[in-house]
Structure 1
Amino acid sequence: MPLNSLQVKKLSDAVNDYSFPTAHFDFLAQTPIIGLSMAQLETRIREQLLSSSLVDVKDGLSNILYWGFTQMGGLAVVRVERFRSAVKDAQLEQASALFAKHRRPPLYDIGRLKLPQFSKVSFASKIRMYLDPIRSATLDRQIMQMHRVHKDTVLSEIKEDLTSIPTTTVNSNAYEVWCERLGQIAQAYLPSARVVDIERGLFQMIQSGDVAGAAGILKNA
């Protein structure tokens, strides 16, 4: 069943209303960067991830954690510090090589890097999203709330455990299908939107308390 005009408007409005904080940190100056647009944040992190400098790659990965945990008070700083103190240069070298070779690396390849704090789909998918937001998106337990409403969407292929989404081959493959589905929704209803924009619209609806509405869009689109 295709989306009705109200559902399309809801999705379009949610895409436009997406307002997750654009938290970013300058590790050289040891100061937060305030006032970035989402487009500027994406560009900064992508450039860091794709840099030939391991310092930049480390900062890019750190900034994904800093951004992803920004709504959780001091947890962002804790997670970043844990990552920066535990990650090895060899892991950063492997990550840099992977990102340079594959702009959209499979999640299971990201998982094989064994980067501290990036072992699960939630943050492995954020790496992938920042590498290629046009064709990639985040997949986390916020998004999985839609599966509680409708069991027969593309999210049914994702296998969760009690507290996370493991980075298995099955989930890595299911993630690709999730991104493809978002691309289909964009093409059919919001042709100027990227894959990440559709995911962010659904996320915005979930954050606003309309999980059922988001799930209905995912099911019917």
Structure 2
Amino acid sequence: MLSEVNFLAAFLVGLLGGVHCVGMCGGIVGALSFGLPESTRQRPLAQLPYLVAYNGGRILSYTVAGAAMGGISALAMHLLDVRQAQLVLQLFAGAFLILMGLYLAGWWLGLARVEGLGARLWRHIEPLGRRLLPVSSAGHAFALGLIWGWLPCGLVYSVLIWSLSAGSAAQGAWLMLGFGLGTLPNLLLMGVVAARMSQWLRKPWVRRLAGAAVIVFGVVMIGRSLWQFA
């Protein structure tokens, strides 16, 4: 039950944070499309394999990072008392869900500050991505997605910090996979469809409703944890 709630909440965070994702990664997707042969650029469906490959690589990077963070939490559980570690991790997850909900609803933007955490690492990775441009094949696009999946992004890093509470590498990967899939509609569906979806996601009531839903997930998780370990 807990893993399903985490997956759904992470998916909502990715989906409702889609406007932010377009701002961060939309230029990269545009550069990818612009570098394709002219005959491919003129046919939107012909670009689809490249976009799928790019986003597949990006989401794989998210999933691997989530597995690493979940593995760290699993190690902590082995080093500490398991029952106490589970309680701390679940309370941490619930609290972070509440912060995520506040962020999505636009009531508190403090999570965006974690973006600077990966700036130093990105300075070493970013040149590798530039070498792959222009993209000449779906394999190229996949490799580019693997690299750009590490782009400094407050939303991604916030979910990564949340995945520290997963308790295992598999659960951490599952959580980040849910987030990555949530980001797909805004980055995979280009043109009119993406524009309309972004316009809908910008509506204050939509963001507040989604934020409130994620906050409820967090409160329920904290309540269940305290009840279970009482």
- TM > 0.5 between the two? no
Q: Which structure's residues are more often helix, by fraction?
A: 2
Q: Which has the larger radius of gyration?
A: 2
TM-score (norm 1): 0.27
